[in-house]
Chains A and B, each alone.
Chain A
Amino acid sequence: MSAPVSTGVLSIFAAGGEGGGGLQFPPVDNLVKWPAWFFQGTPFEFNKITFIDFIAFIVPVALFFIVSRKPQAVPRGLQNLMESSLDFIDKQVIQPAIGPDGLRYMPMLVAMFFYIWIGNVFEIIPTAHMPANARIANPLILAIVTLVMFIGVGVKHHKLGYFKEVLFPPGVPKALYFLVTPIEVLSTFIIRPFSLAVRLFANMLAGHILLVTFSVLCITLWGFQILNVVNLVAFPMLVAFTGFEFMVAFLQAFIFSLLTAVYIGGALHPQH
């Protein structure tokens, strides 16, 4: 009964199961604080989260690199899979949100989608059990990238007229600009990236806490003979939530990419 599980779960198991001291949740440190592996105390501190970031970088790059060496006219196997992912980003993200002009943003959106998705999937991968995006760092970086990107696209295509289109929407009576313009500043340049980052971060952290809670519950109850009956419900729910979180991992990556594309599309055509 000392199988290697995540750090927090292990400590709880020892406390609850053998000691019989009752149900104990892990300290919050186990959820949100990860000790440094390398470069401790420097700005380049490397820990479990950054290692997951590294995997989220290396996996899509390696897969795309393998299939890009000699792409076949008729794709098969891995090339088929990777091209299907490109088609997915193209048809489900770029075309509906930006249109045919959006193909130039495909590398960024593909990178964003895979970086988020693989980082999220580590929520349910055994021995990892931690989504990289349950930390605010990655969502914050990606949201800032999105902010810079859509402002850059707007300025590139409309010069300073972009800010005029955004801050002073046509059709609004001029007397209302004193109300509308601050709202537009807030909603476009503050709330958009903030909501992007918080949506991803909060969903993944909530999912992580949910899985940890049910894992702790199941393992702790395993030590209580009578209460072990509760595991008949708790364990299937843990399995179900694991499947659910797999879907959430994909969904959050898709939503983040789609919203980024929508904001870029909005910057390309602000009058729409």
Chain B
Amino acid sequence: MLLAAINLLAAEGGESAAVNPVFPDSAGELVWGAIFFFLTWIVLRYVCLPPLLKAREDRQLQAQADYEAASAAEAATEQVRRDYAATISEARQQAARTVEQVRATADAERGRQVLAVEQEIAEQRQTALAEIDAARSAAIGGLTGDVAELAAAAASKVVQSPVEVSSVRPTVDEFMNRSGGQK
């Protein structure tokens, strides 16, 4: 189709119909084309590109080295962060353990002191109860004598003859014991 169009153009042009539209009619284009292309290739290969490619490679190596250094620094930073977090965590655990230990010690001490106080209170209560019992026994003893004398005197008046205190004493003791037992 292309050749047909060219041939049409050639026919309409009406001159130089012998010109081959594809192949050059002299070797000049082939020769100079080859010379200039190989010159381009050779000059680029041996003169122009080596410094540029070396600069490019150096840049890539530098970038790679910088990247690796940055990665190493990032890893180190991450390690420091992990160490810090581990230290913080350990400190927190230690603090928790200390608090727990102190709390346990305090609880034990409080229990011990409470127990001691309770024991002391119990002892004091026992002592007080004993003193109360003694006082009551003494009071009852004195009262029994008085009641026995009073009862003997009263009985002497009633029977118009003297009644010995010792004869009414058992009855009074029994009465007093019953009365004391009713409390």
List residues of A whose CB falls within 8 A of some B CB: 24-33, 36, 39, 41-47, 49-50, 53-54, 56-57, 60-61, 64-65, 67-69, 71-73, 75, 79, 82-83, 86, 103, 106-108, 110-112, 114-115, 132, 135-138, 140-142, 145, 201-202, 205-206, 209
Say what secondary structure dominates the interface of chain A. Answer: helix
Give the distance in Å from the alpha carbon of A67 to the alpha carbon of B55 in the complex. 11
CB contact under 8 A between A73 and B55, given known A46-B32, A60-B44, A206-B2: yes
Give the distance in Å from the alpha carbon of A138 to the alpha carbon of B33 in the complex. 6
Please name the residue on chain B nearest to A142 by beta carbon: B37
Query: Measured between C-beta atoms, what is the minimum distance from B10 to chain A in Å?
Result: 4
18 A-B pairs whose Cβ atoms sit less than 8 Å apart in the complex: A25-B12, A25-B13, A26-B9, A27-B9, A43-B28, A50-B33, A53-B29, A57-B39, A83-B56, A86-B53, A132-B33, A135-B29, A136-B23, A137-B24, A137-B33, A142-B37, A205-B6, A209-B2
Q: A86-B53, A108-B41 are in contact. List 8 more A-B contacts (CB 8 A).
A: A27-B16, A28-B16, A29-B19, A50-B32, A83-B56, A86-B56, A115-B36, A141-B37
Number of residue pairs A-B, CB distance < 8 angstroms: 169
Q: Using an 8 Å CB-CB cutoff, how does the interface string of B18-49 with A read, 1 for contact, 0 for none?
A: 01111111111111111011011101110111
Give the distance in Å from the alpha carbon of A45 to the alpha carbon of B10 in the complex. 24
Chain B interface extent, by class: 35 or more
Q: Do residues B28 and A47 form an inter-chain contact, with CB atoms below 8 A? A: yes
Query: Is the CB of B139 closer than 8 A to any CB of chain A?
Result: no
Give the distance in Å from the alpha carbon of A110 to the alpha carbon of B9 in the complex. 36
Q: Do residues B48 and A65 form an inter-chain contact, with CB atoms below 8 A? A: yes
Please name the residue on chain B nearest to A140 by beta carbon: B30
Query: Is the CB of B159 closer than 8 A to any CB of chain A?
Result: no
Which residues does chain A contribute within 8 Å of B181, judged by CB atoms? none
Say what secondary structure dominates the interface of chain B. Answer: helix
Give the distance in Å from the alpha carbon of A202 to the alpha carbon of B3 in the complex. 9
Q: Do residues A26 and B26 form an inter-chain contact, with CB atoms below 8 A? A: no
Query: Is the CB of B52 closer than 8 A to any CB of chain A?
Result: yes
CB contact under 8 A between A73 and B62, given known A26-B9, A27-B16, A61-B48: yes
Q: Do residues B52 and A82 form an inter-chain contact, with CB atoms below 8 A? A: yes
Please name the residue on chain B nearest to A138 by beta carbon: B33
Give the distance in Å from the alpha carbon of A53 to the alpha carbon of B144 in the complex. 154
Q: Do residues B26 and A141 form an inter-chain contact, with CB atoms below 8 A? A: no
Which residues does chain B contribute within 8 Å of A83, judged by CB atoms? 52, 56
List residues of B whose CB falls within 8 A of some A CB: 2, 5-7, 9-10, 12-16, 19-34, 36-37, 39-41, 43-45, 47-56, 58-59, 62
Give the distance in Å from the alpha carbon of A86 to the alpha carbon of B123 in the complex. 104
Q: Do residues B33 and A53 form an inter-chain contact, with CB atoms below 8 A? A: yes
Query: Measured between C-beta atoms, what is the minimum distance from B41 to chain A in Å?
Result: 4
Q: Do residues B49 and A106 form an inter-chain contact, with CB atoms below 8 A? A: yes
Give the distance in Å from the alpha carbon of A142 to the alpha carbon of B62 in the complex. 37
Q: Do residues A27 and B32 form an inter-chain contact, with CB atoms below 8 A? A: no
Q: Do residues B45 and A108 form an inter-chain contact, with CB atoms below 8 A? A: yes
Please name the residue on chain A nearest to B34 by beta carbon: A141
Q: Do residues A111 and B37 form an inter-chain contact, with CB atoms below 8 A? A: yes
Neighbour of A61 across the interface among B19, B43, B55, CB < 8 A: B43
Which residues does chain A contribute within 8 Å of B30, judged by CB atoms? 137, 140-141
CB contact under 8 A between A32 and B40, given known A44-B31, A50-B32: no
Q: When A and B form their complex, which 10 residue pairs have the shortest distance between CB atoms, in order from nearest?
A: A27-B13, A45-B28, A28-B10, A64-B48, A137-B29, A71-B55, A107-B45, A50-B32, A57-B36, A111-B41
Please name the residue on chain A nearest to B32 by beta carbon: A50
Which residues does chain B contribute within 8 Å of A107, judged by CB atoms? 41, 44-45, 49
Which residues does chain A contribute within 8 Å of B5, judged by CB atoms? 209
Identify which of B21, B40, B45 gathers the most chain A CB atoms within 10 Å of its CB: B40
